[in-house]
């Protein structure tokens, strides 16, 4: 499969940027601020980063969970914008436990994540164990607009059928 000229040019630009040392792209004040921000998120084990065209740094990390899964955290930082101080301009996490705390630490807005399995009928999603059935059922029902007793009964049957199919 051909990547096409625009994709090839993009990859060549990225290779040049990645060949530079990080200190060439991030000044010492930015580096200190990013390090402090990453450190402030004490619950995250930071793993990888990439630099997008020299304008932003994206960091990926993981939060350990009690059920042997891990939640992801992604932060995207601005770089070399001398008109404005560096900032986190994108935050994403799958952590139900820490999402509010992370948003508070970063001074950001918060929105709860919803489970893909409870709203989209797809096979390639993470399916949780039955121990979370009540929580999943509540999320499943909250995605529906009508709440007649008959509809709720039908939805519960549909939900339990999906759970049993697992």
| 23 touches 31 (CB < 8 A) | yes
Average pLDDT over residues 17-33: 68
Structure tokens at 80: 């070399």
Residue 161 is inside which H or E element, if any? helix 149-165
Residues 81-121 have pLDDT tens digits of 656 777 887 889 999 899 999 999 999 888 887 878 878 88
How do the domains of the chain map onto residue ranges?
A: 5-106, 116-165
Q: Determine the pLDDT at residue 2.
A: 46
Structure tokens at 35: 């390090």
Judged on CB neighbours under 10 Å (0-12, 13-18, 19+), 93 is: buried
């Amino acid at each position: 499969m051909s990547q096409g000229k625009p994709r090839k040019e993009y990859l060549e630009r990225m290779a040049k940027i990645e060949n530079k040392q990080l200190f060439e792209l991030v000044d010492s004040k930015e580096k200190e601020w990013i390090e402090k921000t990453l450190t402030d998120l004490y619950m995250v084990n930071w793993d990888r980063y990439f630099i997008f065209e020299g304008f932003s740094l994206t960091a990926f990390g993981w939060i350990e969970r009690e059920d042997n899964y891990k939640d992801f955290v992604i932060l995207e930082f601005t770089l070399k914008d001398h008109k404005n101080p560096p900032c986190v301009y994108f935050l994403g996490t799958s952590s139900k436990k820490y999402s509010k705390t992370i948003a508070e630490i970063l001074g950001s807005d918060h929105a709860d994540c919803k489970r893909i399995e409870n709203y989209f009928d797809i096979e390639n999603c993470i399916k949780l164990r039955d121990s979370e059935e009540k929580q999943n059922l509540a999320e499943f029902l909250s995605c529906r607009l009508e709440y007649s007793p008959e509809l709720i009964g039908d939805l519960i049957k549909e939900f339990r059928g999906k759970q049993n199919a697992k």
